[in-house]
Amino acid sequence: MGRPDKKPGSVAKIIPLGGLDAIGKNMTVFECDGDIILDDAGLMFPDDDHPGIDLILPDYTYVLQNAHRLKGIFITHGHEDHTGSLPYLYKDLDRPVPIYGTKLTLGLIEGKFAEHRIKNAKLVEVKPGDKVKLGCIEAEFFAVNHSIPGAVGIFYQTPAGNILHTGDFKLDQTPVDGVNTDFAALSRFNRIGVDLLLSDSTNSMNRTFTPSEAEVGKVLGPIIAQAKGRVIVASFASHIHRLQQICDAAVASGRKVVVTGRSMIQNTEIARRLGYLRIDDENLVDAYDLKGIPPEKIVVMCTGSQGEPLSALSRIAGGSHKTVGIEEGDTVIISATPVPGNEKSVTRIVNMLAKVGADVYDKRRAMVHVSGHASAEELKLLLSIVRPVHFMPVHGEAVHLRAHAKLAEETGVRREDIYILENGESLELSDKGVRFGETVQSGVVFVDGNSVGDTSQTVLDDRASLGAEGFAVVAAAVSMGQRKLQGRVQVEMRGITGGDDPYLLEDAEGAATATLRRQLSGSTSPKDMRRAVRDTLLSLLWERTKQRPMVVVSILDV
């Protein structure tokens, strides 16, 4: 296993802090002989398991504990699942650690940092082909195709061996911006020797090839050209290639483009300023200047492809958008796929649009969206070009990582050289090969309102229970000295079926009063008294409503 270029005794550590339990919050630590690089710093958007939570961050305690050794942060591309925890991490670090990324990646990070009022950021632009040496780790950035421009993979050369991280990628032979995944670089890395490959597993369960982004343009063009009324296209705001194709199709059909939705406005502005999105000023119309332009002369490019209730598309569909209306005969294109968990919200909007009489196109009807991630044949192709000694699938749920591991085995990686990790586990690479290292602290941190990390599982469990069954409150004043009830017992219910029924309330108050009186006549402690009242109310509610809501009992000693 040893290679002559390796320094005996050197050890490189690979510690994923996120990205291996879900598609989201990617963050991996690379270490070598004391130097640390952080590769990506993403977040994840919460689902039904996390009621009320705004954002989910990976637990990066390990990075903070070793912050003095952190030489730099490398960001592979500008998607939030690779950049989103940067503002939080940056606020927790006591110095501006340099962040390396391509122009668009940094442009998007700058936008986020401005929102968070972070002013001391140290952003260092890199181009594909650039090498950055931090401590004993040399990183070479190379171009990959993905659903955002400026995406790169990173080849790490260390005294302990070489590690290739693909980043998120696909192998698009007809990329919209002309930038191919750099096969020459991959072949070169193979010649240099890839001791460990970390590769994107998102689409490892999809057979064959992911279609080229250019195929979407071929579909969008005719739809927009043949549309009679307004055309409204919802897409991901960061999908600049898609936006380019929408703009091109609009201009080719003699339509002006109207951009609406906060992140869509922000991202098109950044992408145009940095030269990633090309459309003439004369073909862009401000949403407030729409008056006088006939519907058949515009294409609205908007947010809301995930059915977000406050997004531009939702407001358009519901008739509450300030400037963009919708009417029978208009065309709506959902140029995106619902992220798992968002299917219902998207369905809701599609139906609202259908009822207005809009002609709705989504992925089912025409190829108005393709993925930005490589499918099985592409993943195998990459493995064949790179020929890694060891393999670690990343960026996916358990099932994707395992499917990817199988593909690697099929291309010739030995089963014992494939490592499926959990977040927080680590690998150690040295001239002796690869082995499991120590496990470090990992997990998730919830962002809820302006609190980061203070939301406990108990809070989430309480929310889940309240959301399903509601609650009842009992308030009673007693004199513990005289062991006497003072005044009336009050019961209130919220979120309980029948909770507004005056007879049920009356019975509940009666039952609670009777229990309290019984408890007071003995020598029960306040705590036991609360429990007895709670049990009484739960029995009554179960009997009457077959529901078991949360019950909070306040006993005031007056």
Active site residue 373: yes
Q: Which of 8, 319, 325, 340 binds a copy of itself (CB under 8 A)?
A: 340
d(CA 263, CA 86): 18
Which amino acid type is present at position 55? L
Binding-residue pattern over the window 412 to 451 for a copy of itself, x denoting contact by CB under 8 A: ----------------------------------x-xxxx
Return d(Cα 342, Cα 374) in angstroms, integer.
22
- How many Cα neighbours within 13 Å face the side chain of 135? 19
Q: Is 239 annotated as a binding residue?
A: yes
Which residue carries 């009621």 as its tokens? 51
Q: Which is nearer to a copy of itself, 286 or 528 (CB)?
A: 528
Other CB atoms within 10 Å distance of the CB of residue 537: 23
Among 272, 297, 402, 483, binds a copy of itself (CB under 8 A): 402
Q: Which of 355, 416, 457, 502 binds a copy of itself (CB under 8 A)?
A: 355
For a copy of itself, give the closer residue by CB, 193 or 470. 470
Shortest Å distance, C-beta 183 to a copy of itself = 27
Binding a copy of itself (rule: CB under 8 A), the pick from 454, 506, 528, 535 is 454
168 annotated ligand-binding residue: yes
Exposure string for 231-270, b = 16+ CB within 10 A, e = fewer: bbbbbbbbbbbbbbbbbbbbbebebbbbbbbebbbbbbeb
* Token pair recorded at residue 487: 């005044």
Is the CB of 67 or the CB of 480 nearer to a copy of itself?
480
The reply to whether 371 sits near a copy of itself by the rule CB under 8 A is no
Give the residue among 116, 117, 143 at the shortest CA–CA distance from 129. Answer: 143
Q: Which of 67, 192, 475, 538 binds a copy of itself (CB under 8 A)?
A: 475
Amino acid at 476: A
29 to 58: interface string for a copy of itself, x by CB under 8 A: ------------------xxx-xx------
Is residue 204 within 8 Å of 407, Cβ to Cβ? Answer: yes
Torsion over CA: 314, 320, 322, 328 (sign)? positive
Amino acid at 373: H
Residues 6+ apart with CB under 8 A from 104: 78, 148, 149, 150, 240, 270, 271, 274, 276
Interface residue with a copy of itself, options 180, 263, 497, 524 (CB under 8 A): 497
Exposed, middle or buried, 288 (CB in 10 Å: 0-12/13-18/19+)?
exposed
Given 50, 241, 373, 400, the catalytic residue = 373
What's the closest the beta carbon of residue 386 comes to a copy of itself, in angstroms? 24
What whole-number distance in Å separates Cα of residue 331 and Cα of residue 350? 11
377 makes contact with a copy of itself (CB under 8 A) = no
Of residues 200, 248, 359, 431, which has the active-site annotation?
A: 200
Task: Give the count of alpha carbons within 13 A of 300, CB side only.
Answer: 34
Asked if residue 483 binds a copy of itself (CB under 8 A), the reply is no
- Check: CB of residue 135 under 8 Å from CB of residue 148: no
- Nearest approach, Cβ of 557 to a copy of itself (angstroms)? 6
Is 191 an interacting residue with respect to a copy of itself (CB under 8 A)? no
Instruction: List the binding residues.
Output: 52, 54, 77, 79, 81-82, 146, 168, 237-239, 369-373, 395, 448
Instruction: List the binding residues for Zn(2+).
Output: 77, 79, 81-82, 146, 168, 395
Catalytic residues: 200, 373
